[in-house]
Structure 1
Amino acid sequence: MTTIIDVAKHAQVSKSTVSRVISGNGYVSQESRKKVLESMEALAYSPNLIARNLQSGETKTIGFLTQGFIDPLGVFLESFISIAKNYNYYVTLYFTDGDKKKEIDALNQMKYKQLDGVFILTRANKWEVIEPYSIYGPIATWHRIDSERIYSSYVDHYSGYSRSLDYLFQRGYRSIGHVLSNPENLNTKARLRAIEDFHKEKNIPLKDEWLFQDNTRIDNGKYIARSWHKMANKTDAMAFYTDSVAASFISELQNLGYSIPEDVAVIGFDNSEISRLMHITTVDYSIRHQAENSFIYIHNQLNSKKIAEREISVSLVERQTVPFKNDCTSSLD
Structure 2
Amino acid sequence: MTTIIDVAKKAQVSKSTVSRVISGNGYVSQESRKKVLEAMEALSYSPNLIARNLQSGETKTIGFLAHGFIDPLGVFLESFISIAKKYNYYVTLYFTDGDRKKEIDALNQMKYKQLDGVFIFTRANKWEFIEPYSLFGPIATWHRIDSERIYSSYVDHYSGYLRSLKYLYQRGYRSIGHVLGNSENLNTKARLKAIDDFHKEKDIPIKNEWIFHDKTRIDNGRTIAQLWHEMTNKTDAIAFYTDSVAAGFISELQTLGYSIPKDVAVIGFDNSEISRLMHITTVDYSIKRQAENSFIYIHNQLNAEKIPEQEMSVSLVERKTVPIRIQRKEQ
Normalised TM-score (structure 1): 0.82
Within a 5 Å distance, the mapping from 1:96-175 to structure 2 comes to: 96-175=96-175
Within a 5 Å distance, the mapping from 1:282-301 to structure 2 comes to: 282-301=282-301
Within a 5 Å distance, the mapping from 1:1-333 to structure 2 comes to: 55-327=55-327
3-state SS, counterpart of residue 81 of structure 2: helix
The residue type paired with residue 326 of structure 1 is: I
3-state SS, counterpart of residue 238 of structure 2: strand
Q: Distance in 2 between matches of 1:106 and 1:208?
A: 39
RMSD: 1.5
> 1:54: how far off?
8.4
> 1:307: how far off?
1.2
The residue type paired with residue 130 of structure 1 is: I
**Count of residues in correspondence between the two structures:** 278
Paired residues of 1:54 and 1:113 also in contact (CA < 8 A)? no
> 1:304: how far off?
2.8
3-state SS, counterpart of residue 154 of structure 2: coil
Q: Distance in 2 between matches of 1:157 and 1:306?
A: 27
Q: Distance in 2 between matches of 1:147 and 1:303?
A: 21
Q: Distance in 2 between matches of 1:306 and 1:202?
A: 45
Q: Distance in 2 between matches of 1:143 and 1:67?
A: 14
Q: Distance in 1 between matches of 2:228 and 2:54?
A: 57
Question: In the TM superposition, what whole-angstrom CA distance separates every residue of 1:48-87 from its partner, at most 9, and x where no partner exists?
Answer: xxxxx78443111000000111111000000000000000
Give unpaired runs (5+ residues) of structure 2: 1-52
Give unpaired runs (5+ residues) of structure 1: 1-52, 329-333
Q: Distance in 1 between matches of 2:301 and 2:313?
A: 24
The residue type paired with residue 168 of structure 1 is: L
> 1:213: how far off?
1.2
Q: Distance in 2 between matches of 1:221 and 1:101?
A: 29
Same amino acid, percent of matched pairs: 84
Paired residues of 1:66 and 1:95 also in contact (CA < 8 A)? yes
Q: Distance in 2 between matches of 1:304 and 1:230?
A: 57
> 1:326: how far off?
1.6
The residue type paired with residue 197 of structure 1 is: D
3-state SS, counterpart of residue 266 of structure 1: strand
The residue type paired with residue 169 of structure 1 is: Y
Q: Distance in 1 between matches of 2:101 and 2:109?
A: 13
| Larger Rg, first or second structure (1 or 2) | 1
- CA spacing shift, 1:306–1:54, aligned 2, 3 Å: closer
Q: Distance in 2 between matches of 1:103 and 1:194?
A: 32
3-state SS, counterpart of residue 65 of structure 1: strand
The residue type paired with residue 86 of structure 1 is: K
The residue type paired with residue 133 of structure 1 is: Y
Question: In the TM superposition, what whole-angstrom CA distance separates every residue of 1:25-44 from its partner, at most 9, and x where no partner exists?
Answer: xxxxxxxxxxxxxxxxxxxx
3-state SS, counterpart of residue 101 of structure 2: helix
Q: Distance in 2 between matches of 1:88 and 1:213?
A: 40
Q: Distance in 2 between matches of 1:146 and 1:280?
A: 32
The residue type paired with residue 109 of structure 1 is: Q
The residue type paired with residue 168 of structure 2 is: L
> 1:306: how far off?
2.4
3-state SS, counterpart of residue 148 of structure 2: coil
